[in-house]
Structure 1
Amino acid sequence: MTLRQTLHALPRDARDTLFLLCVIAWVIAPQVNVLPVWASLLAGGLLLWRGWLAWKGRPLPTRWVLAIPLILAVGGTLYTHRTILGRDAGVTLIVMLLALKMLELRARRDAMVVFFLGFFTMLSNFFFSQSLFTAAAMLVALLGLLAALVNAHMPVGRPPLAQTLRTAGTMALLGAPIMAALFMLFPRMAPLWGMPSDTMAGRSGLSGVMKVGNIAELALDDSVAMRVRFDTPNGAPPPQSDLYFRGPVFGAFDGVEWHPLGARSGDMLQSSPSTLANLQVRGEPVRYEVTLEAHQRPWLLLLDAAATKPAISGMDTLMTQDLQWLTNRPITAVVRYKAESHPDFSHGPSAPTPRLRAYTELPASFNPRTLALAQQMRNDPQIAPNPAQNNAEALVNAALVRLRTGGYTYTLEPGVYGQHTADEFWFDRKAGFCEHIASSFVVLMRALDIPARIVTGYQGGDRNPVDGLWTVRQSDAHAWAEVWLAGRGWVRVDPTGAVAPGRTGAFERLRAPQGALAAAMGTVLSPGLAQNLRAMWEAVNNSWNQWVLNYTQSRQLDLLKALGFEAPSWQDLTMVLGFLIIFAALAGMAWSLWERSQHDPWLRLLARARQRLARAGLVLSPTLPPRAMAERVQAQFGAPAAAVADWLLRLERLRYAPQPDTEWSHLRREFNTLPWPPASKH
C-alpha cells in the first residue's frame, strides 16, 4: 500500500491531526536557530509523539504524564533565560505550550486554543526577522492554519484537502484589502509601533570594542550591512578612496582590546556639532540615502564627514567629538535616512591640547619590541634629522614605507596572536587582516608620542546592476587609523592600503574558502549567473525593505498629502481608516445580501409556499418534500386547493427534470396567481 493510500485510509480525525502537525512544525521551524537547543529538541519530540499517536490510533496521554514535559519546559526556560518574561523567554514558552497542547487535542475547544497559539507563534517569527523570506514562509503558514480551521468547522464527511485549501485561500484574499488598508493607515505611534528587542544576542556587525581578529570574522559574513543611493545623475559613488563609512572610534587600549575613550562633558554634541568638533568642510557635499540593516547598536554609518544631522524619522541623532553619529536608541529594525558628507574636510584641534595625551597612552609591559622600534626611528637621522623638532609626519610616512617594503601581507588567516600583538605583527608574523595592521600601526604611533586612534566602519562596496544601489556588506568591514598632526588636526591614515593597495583602491576583498555546498553549486551555476541571481534577489529584498519594513508614519502622512490633506496628522489617519472600515462593513453587508439571493432559488420558492400555507393555518415541517406537502394540502383544504397541490407536484418534478429552466419561469410567475387558502383568523 502506498503512502497516499495509507493516508486516505486513515480516519478523518487522524488525517486532520497530521495535517495540523505539519502546519505547526512549519510555524516553529524558522525559530529553531533562535530557540535554545533543548527547546527545539523537546518541541520536535512532542510533535513526533503526537503524530505517532494519531498514526497508530493510540489514546492521548493523561494530564499527569503531560505535567512532566510542562515542568521541564518551564524549568528549562528559567534556567536558560533567567526569567519567564521578555521576548526570548516568552517565545520559548509559547512554542513549548503549543507543542504540549497538541497532546491534549480532544475537543473543538482544544482545537481553538491550538489555533490561537499557532497564530501567535506565527507572528512571533517577526520578532527575530522581518525579511521577505520570513514573510513568504509565514504566508504559507497562514494558509495552512486557515485550512486547518476550516477543517475543524466541517465535522461531517471527509472534505478533500484541496477543497479546504481553496476555502482558506478565498478567506485570505477576501481579507487582503482590509489588511492592506490597516497596514497603510493604522497610525504608527512610537514606541508602541516596532519590534521588541530585549537582548543583544544574535547581532551581526561592528562591535563596541575591537579585539584583534574580530573584524576578520566579519569578513566571512557576506550579508548586507546597508544600501546606499547616491544623489548623482547616474547614481555613481564618490572616488573609491573616499568611501569610508565611519563607525565606532577607539582611543583606549588595555593591551588586548581597544575601547572608546570614556564619555566626557561636551563629548555628545547636539547643537552646532561642526563648531564644537572643530570640523571644517570644503567643496560640494555628497548627498545620499542609506538603508541601514538592524545591528542592535545606536550608531549610524555615514561617509566622512557629515557636518549636518542626517534626516531619520522617529529618532534623534547627535555627533561625538570624534565625528561618530549616534541615535537615541539602538537600531533594531531596518531604517532609512538621508545625509550629506564632505570628502574634503579637516577636524580636531590644530594645536596640542591636554585631551590629546589620552591618545598617546599605552599599557605597561606590552609590546616592548615595538617600543624599541619607535625609539630607533626617532633616533634615525634619515627619518628625524632634528629630534628637537616635530617630525610626526615624517615618522608616519616612515612607518608606511616599512609596511610597503617590509614583506608584510594582507590575509584572513594570520594565525592566533599572543599577548604582544604589535610585536608579533611587526617582527614575527608580518601578516594580518585590517585590524591587525591598524592596531599595530596605532601602537607604533603612540610609542612615537604621536596621538593616534582606531576608526572602524565599512570601506568600499559594490553596485547592484539591477537597482543601481551601492551595496555595502559585512565583509566590507574595515579598520583604519587617524593620527593627529600639528596644524592639520586628525588625519586619516589607512595602513592596510600600504600593505595591500587593492583593498582600498580597487575594492579587492579577501574571500573565505568556499564550503562543500557552495563549491557544488559552483559546478552547476556559472559565476555570472549566480551573481545575477544574487543581485536580483537583493534588489527584490531591498524593495521589500523600502516599501514594507520602512513604511513609517512620515510616509503615511505623505500618502494623505497625495489624497488632498494639507497638514495631515495621526488623527486624520484614524479618520480615514474609520471611513474605510465603515465602507468595508457596508460592502460586506451588500455582499451578504447578494450571496443570499444566489442561494438555491428552488428552495426559496418552496419556503415561500410553506409560509403561505402557514398563514392559512397549515404548519409544515421544513424537511417535508413537495409531494407530502401536496397531500397535506388536499387533506386539509380539499378541492379548492387542488391547483396549489398540483403546483407543488410540478415543482417537485422540476427538481429532477433534465432541463429545469424550461418550466422554472412559468412556475415562479404562477406562484402569485394561485388560489392560496385564505389566512387563518387565529
Structure 2
Amino acid sequence: MNTPHRAPRVPTKGERTLRPGKAGSVGALDAGPSRRAGGLRTWLEALPRETRDTLFLLAVVGWVALMQVAHLPWWCSALTGGVLLWRASLALRGSPLPRWPWRLGLLLFASAATWATHGTLLGQDAGVTLVVVLLALKTLEMRARRDAFVVFFLGFFTLLTHFFHSQSLLTAAGILIALLGLLTALVNAHMPVGRPPLAQAARIAIGMAAMGAPIMLVLFLLFPRISPLWGAPGEDRGRSGLSGTMRVGQIAELVLDESIALRLRFEGSPPPQSELYFRGPVLSAFDGVEWRPARSGFPASMALPGELAVSGAPVRYEVTMEPNRRPWLFLLEAAAEAPDVPGMPVRMTNELQWLTDRPIGSLVRYSAVSHTSFRHGPTAHTLALQDHVALPPGYNPRTLAYAQELQRTHGSGPEATPRLVNAVMERLRTGGYVYTLEPGVYGQHTADEFWFDRRMGFCEHIASSFVILMRALDIPARIVTGYQGGELNGVDGYWTVRQRDAHAWAEVWQAGQGWVRVDPTSAVAPDRTGSLQRLRAPDGAFVGALRNINPGIATQLRAAWEALNNTWNQWVLNYTQGSQLDLLRNLGFRSPSWNDLAYVLIGVVVAVSLIGAAWTLWERQQHDPWLRLLQRARARLSAMGVDSADHTPPRELARRVQQRWGQAEAAQGVAQWLLRLEAHRYARPGDHLPNLAMLQREFRQLAWPRKDPV
C-alpha cells in the first residue's frame, strides 16, 4: 500500500538510520556492482524516493547558484558548493542533518564574510551574496515538505537576481531551465503517494508553464511598463572600452573586450568605414598623467561655443545601445538634431557630446540623423581656446624641444597650423611607429617615450602624444573618445560596434575652420580605422579549431548568434512604453494614452475570461449526457433523504425509492423512470426504448414523492 510521502527529507537524530549492507538500504545501493550493472540511470532509479528527490532539488539549486558564480565572491561560490555537496552526501548515506550550532556557525561566517567583502549587509551585491548562501544553507534543515517549499520559493526569488547582471537571451535560457526544474520539484512535492517518476512531474510542470505563457504574453504586451529597478554594472579594468578619463601609459597590455557596445541599422547605404566615428566624452584637461573633461575658469558668457554647421546628405540610422551606467549617447559625428530617445530628455554639450538626464542602466533604442560633413567651434580665435593649449610644467621636455624645432622649420601662428599638422602626421607614417596592444608601462614623460624611445602604443598613447605636441606648438587641441568603425552582420543587416572598437582621436583648432578631426592612429595603423578587418580578441580553443577547419564557419555561427540575440534585444528587452503606445496605434487608436492601454488590457482580460467560460461550458457539454442526467436524479433524491454513492446504479436507486415510499404512486413513477434510464444504457441493440431526450423531458415532468413517507 502506498503511504503519503513528504517532500525531500532525511531521518532526524531520533530516527533509525539504515546501515550499509542491509537489503533496501542506501548503503547497499552505493555498492559498485549495482552501478556497473545498470549504469547511473539504474542506480538513480533504485534510490529511495526521498533521496532521489533531494538530489534532484540540490541539482536545481546548484544550477541556480552556478549562474551567479561570475558575480559572487570566491568564498561564496566555494561555501555554496561545499554545502550542497555535504547535503547530497547526507542524503546518500541516510545520515541525520547537522544540528543548529553548525547552521548558526555557517550563517555567522557567511554574514561576516559578506561584510568583509562588500562593507555592508545591504545593497545589491551584498544582498545577492547573502541570498545565494541562505538558499544553500536552507537545504541543511530540509526535513519536511514545508522546508522544501521554502527552498522552492527562495530559489524562485534567487532567479530574479540574475537580471541584476544580465538580461541577455543566454541568461533568459538559463533561467528558463532553472524555472522548469523548480516547478518540477514543486509538482513532485505535491505528489505524496507512491514513487512517481520525475519525468511525469516535469511534463506537468512544462504543461503549467505552457498554459501560463499566453497570460504572460498579454501582460508583457499590455501591462504598463515601469523603469527597471536595477542597472547594468560595469568594470573599469584594463580592458578595451570607454571611461570618463584617460590615464596614459598605465596599462602594459590591453585586453580586447568583445562585448557589444551598440548596434546600428542604417536607412540606405552606410557611410564609409573610415567615417564611422561615434562621439563620446571630450578630454581637454591634462595634468601630466591623466586626461579629464575640461572645467573652464572662464565665465559662461565667455565659454567656448559649439557653433555646429552641417552640410551634405544626412545619414539616418537607428541605434540599440547596451547599458553603460553613464549618461552618454553615442551618435555618428555630427548630429545637429536631438536623437529620439523614448522617455529620456537629451541635450548636446558645446563639445558635441549628447547626454541624457540619468545614467543608462538598461538597453535603450533611439533614432538619429547625422552628417559626416560638418564644421563646429569658433572660426576666429577666442580667449577660451587658451584652455586647449595649456600643458603642466615639468613634463615631456624633449617633446617641447621638438616643437620648437618644428616651428623653426615650418613656421608658427594660425597660418602655419596645417603645415605643422601634416609634418607630425608624416613623422607618424614614416618614423617607424607601431600600433600594439602590449606597449608596456610608460614612465612620467609619456609623450617623450612615445616620440623618441618606444615608438609604440595603442590609440590612447598616439592621441595623447599628438595632442601634447600640438599644444607645445601653441595649437589648440583636445582628445575625443568614442567608438570607431564596426562590422556588418550579414544575417540581420545590423552594424555591430564592440567595446574593442573604443577609440581616441584628436581635434585641432584651425582659423576659419574651427575644430578639425585628426586621427593620428590612422597614420600609424591605417587598418585600425579604414578597414573592415578590425582588431580581434584571441580565439579560444574551440573557435580556433573551427577556424582551422573552416575559416568562415566560426564567423557565421557568431553572426547567427548575435543576430538572434539582437532580435531578443529589439523585441523583448527594448519593448518600452513607447512600444506599447505604438502597438495601440497599430490597433487603430489615433492618439493612444495610458487610459487606452488600461481599457485594452481590461478588454483582453474580460475576453479571455469569457473564452474560458465558454470553453468550460463546451467541455461540460462533451461529457456523457446520460451520466449528467443520472447525477441530477441522484442529487434530487439526496435532497429527499435517499443517499447514494457515485457508483450506485439506477436499479439500486429505484429499489431504495420503493423501500422508502412503498407503493405510493409518485414513488412508483420515479422507480419506473430510473429503470428505463438503466435500460437505455444497457439494453440490447434493437430494443424499442425511449431516447435520452424523452427521458430528460420525463425527468422534468416527474411527480416526486414528499420528503417524509406517509
> Normalised by the shorter chain, which TM-score bucket?
0.7 to 0.9
Which letter maps to 1:105?
M
- Say whether the 8 Å CA contact 2:265–2:495 is kept in structure 1: yes
- Say whether the 8 Å CA contact 1:282–1:345 is kept in structure 2: yes
Which letter maps to 1:4?
R
Which residue among 431, 436, 439 is the counterpart of 1:406? Answer: 431
Call closer, same or farther: CA 1:256–1:664 in 2, change over 3 Å: farther
Which residue among 95, 119, 126 is the counterpart of 2:132? Answer: 95
Q: Which residue of 1 aligns with 2:553?
A: 529
Tell me the distance in 1 between the aligned counterparts of 2:220 and 2:252: 41
Tell me the distance in 1 between the aligned counterparts of 2:372 and 2:661: 102
217-226 vs 317-326, greater mean Cα deviation:
217-226
Q: Does 1:302 align with 2:331?
A: yes
Deviation at 1:646, TM superposition (A): 7.2
Which residue among 486, 505, 517 is the counterpart of 1:461? Answer: 486
Q: Does 1:230 align with 2:266?
A: yes
Which letter maps to 1:123?
L
Tell me the distance in 2 between the aligned counterparts of 1:254 and 1:324: 22
- Say whether the 8 Å CA contact 1:633–1:645 is kept in structure 2: no
| 1:312 counterpart SS class | coil
Tell me the distance in 2 between the aligned counterparts of 1:290 and 1:229: 7
Q: Which residue of 2 aligns with 1:242?
A: 275
Which residue among 430, 443, 457 is the counterpart of 1:432? Answer: 457
Call closer, same or farther: CA 1:402–1:297 in 2, change over 3 Å: same
Q: Which residue of 2 aligns with 1:16?
A: 53
Deviation at 1:87, TM superposition (A): 2.1
What is the root-mean-square deviation in Å for CA atoms of aligned residues?
A: 3.4
| 1:483 counterpart SS class | strand
Q: How does 1:241-640 map to 2 (within 5 A)?
A: 241-262=274-295, 276-380=305-409, 383-384=410-411, 387=412, 390-524=415-549, 526-595=550-619, 607-608=631-632, 610-620=634-644
Call closer, same or farther: CA 1:49–1:663 in 2, change over 3 Å: farther
| 1:33 counterpart SS class | helix
Call closer, same or farther: CA 1:388–1:260 in 2, change over 3 Å: closer
Call closer, same or farther: CA 1:219–1:282 in 2, change over 3 Å: farther
Deviation at 1:634, TM superposition (A): 7.8
Call closer, same or farther: CA 1:65–1:256 in 2, change over 3 Å: same
Q: Which residue of 2 aligns with 1:106?
A: 143
Q: Which residue of 2 aligns with 1:196?
A: 230
| 1:467 counterpart SS class | coil
Call closer, same or farther: CA 1:599–1:147 in 2, change over 3 Å: farther
Which letter maps to 2:307?
N
- Say whether the 8 Å CA contact 1:287–1:339 is kept in structure 2: yes
Q: Does 1:79 align with 2:103?
A: no
- Say whether the 8 Å CA contact 1:615–1:679 is kept in structure 2: no
Deviation at 1:438, TM superposition (A): 0.9
Call closer, same or farther: CA 1:241–1:334 in 2, change over 3 Å: same
Deviation at 1:628, TM superposition (A): 8.2
Tell me the distance in 2 between the aligned counterparts of 1:55 and 1:630: 59
Which residue among 172, 176, 181 is the counterpart of 1:135? Answer: 172
Which letter maps to 2:246?
M
Deviation at 1:606, TM superposition (A): 6.3
Call closer, same or farther: CA 1:115–1:214 in 2, change over 3 Å: farther
Q: Which residue of 2 aligns with 1:681?
A: 708
Call closer, same or farther: CA 1:202–1:277 in 2, change over 3 Å: closer
- Say whether the 8 Å CA contact 1:412–1:510 is kept in structure 2: no
Call closer, same or farther: CA 1:398–1:532 in 2, change over 3 Å: same
Call closer, same or farther: CA 1:549–1:118 in 2, change over 3 Å: same
Which letter maps to 2:231?
S
| 2:71 counterpart SS class | coil
634-643 vs 205-214, greater mean Cα deviation:
634-643
Tell me the distance in 2 between the aligned counterparts of 1:628 and 1:49: 61
- Say whether the 8 Å CA contact 2:403–2:473 is kept in structure 1: yes
Call closer, same or farther: CA 1:337–1:219 in 2, change over 3 Å: farther
275-284 vs 543-552, greater mean Cα deviation:
275-284
Which letter maps to 1:126?
F
Q: Which residue of 1 aligns with 2:157?
A: 120
| 2:365 counterpart SS class | strand
- Say whether the 8 Å CA contact 1:215–1:477 is kept in structure 2: no
| 1:225 counterpart SS class | strand
Call closer, same or farther: CA 1:503–1:202 in 2, change over 3 Å: closer
Deviation at 1:618, TM superposition (A): 2.9
Tell me the distance in 1 between the aligned counterparts of 2:569 and 2:300: 33
- Say whether the 8 Å CA contact 1:206–1:215 is kept in structure 2: no
Tell me the distance in 2 between the aligned counterparts of 1:279 and 1:680: 97
Tell me the distance in 2 between the aligned counterparts of 1:567 and 1:240: 41
Which letter maps to 1:324?
Q
Which letter maps to 1:364?
P
Q: Which residue of 2 aligns with 1:37?
A: 74
Tell me the distance in 1 between the aligned counterparts of 2:251 and 2:492: 29
Which letter maps to 1:69?
L
| Structure 1 residues 477-531: Cα deviation after superposition (integer angstroms, max 9, x where no partner) | 111111112222111111111112222222443434434343234345x121211
Deviation at 1:549, TM superposition (A): 1.0
- Say whether the 8 Å CA contact 1:305–1:345 is kept in structure 2: yes
Tell me the distance in 2 between the aligned counterparts of 1:482 and 1:665: 100
Tell me the distance in 2 between the aligned counterparts of 1:667 and 1:57: 61
| Structure 1 residues 183-227: Cα deviation after superposition (integer angstroms, max 9, x where no partner) | 1111124xxx21413865479831111123689977611222111
Deviation at 1:392, TM superposition (A): 2.2
Q: Which residue of 1 aligns with 2:44?
A: 7
| Structure 1 residues 249-280: Cα deviation after superposition (integer angstroms, max 9, x where no partner) | 111122222111127788899xxx9x941212
- Say whether the 8 Å CA contact 1:605–1:668 is kept in structure 2: no
Which letter maps to 2:571?
W
54-63 vs 450-459, greater mean Cα deviation:
54-63
State the TM-score, normalized to the length of structure 1.
Answer: 0.88
Which letter maps to 2:323?
A
Tell me the distance in 2 between the aligned counterparts of 1:358 and 1:497: 26
7-16 vs 442-451, greater mean Cα deviation:
7-16
| 1:221 counterpart SS class | coil
| 2:328 counterpart SS class | coil
| 1:456 counterpart SS class | strand
Deviation at 1:246, TM superposition (A): 0.7
Call closer, same or farther: CA 1:154–1:493 in 2, change over 3 Å: same
Q: Which residue of 1 aligns with 2:220?
A: 183
Which letter maps to 1:341?
S
Q: Does 1:159 align with 2:159?
A: no
| Structure 1 residues 361-395: Cα deviation after superposition (integer angstroms, max 9, x where no partner) | 22222222212211222223xx22xx577522221
Which letter maps to 1:146?
L
Deviation at 1:318, TM superposition (A): 1.1
| 1:547 counterpart SS class | helix
Tell me the distance in 1 between the aligned counterparts of 2:296 and 2:690: 89
| 2:592 counterpart SS class | coil
Tell me the distance in 2 between the aligned counterparts of 1:465 and 1:100: 49
Call closer, same or farther: CA 1:665–1:508 in 2, change over 3 Å: farther
